[in-house]
Structure 1
Amino acid sequence: MDFKNGSFPVGVVVFGLIALLLALRLRSVLGKRTGLDAPPPRGEAARPRLGTLRNPL
């Protein structure tokens, strides 16, 4: 890249800073996965079975 003409890519730098701030904010909201979380429920156990509804339509 040749910046002799004073055409510094300010838009790219601003876009990079915005992307960095969004990534840091997302990480602070979601947190890091520690591996101590409970495993997700298995497919069959998570679904209600037929005939277990109290008020069927």
Structure 2
Amino acid sequence: VELAFEGNYLHDLKRLRRAVLNYGTIYPFDSPDLVLPLPQREIDANPALEQNP
């Protein structure tokens, strides 16, 4: 549960496995639109990492 102005709403939705409702569009919590790409520098530093889809 987000307290006022903490800015954890998106993280709470992911943690609670709830969909994100944004201007009439529903994004499931595992939507690729919610996954950010890993920086190439981090992938180069750790070969065990794979780029996010």
Q: Which TM class, normalised by the smaller chain length?
A: under 0.3
Structure showing greater Rg = 1
Give me the TM-score of the superposition, normalised by structure 1. Answer: 0.21
**Structure whose residues are more often helix by fraction:** 1
Give me the TM-score of the superposition, normalised by structure 2. Answer: 0.21
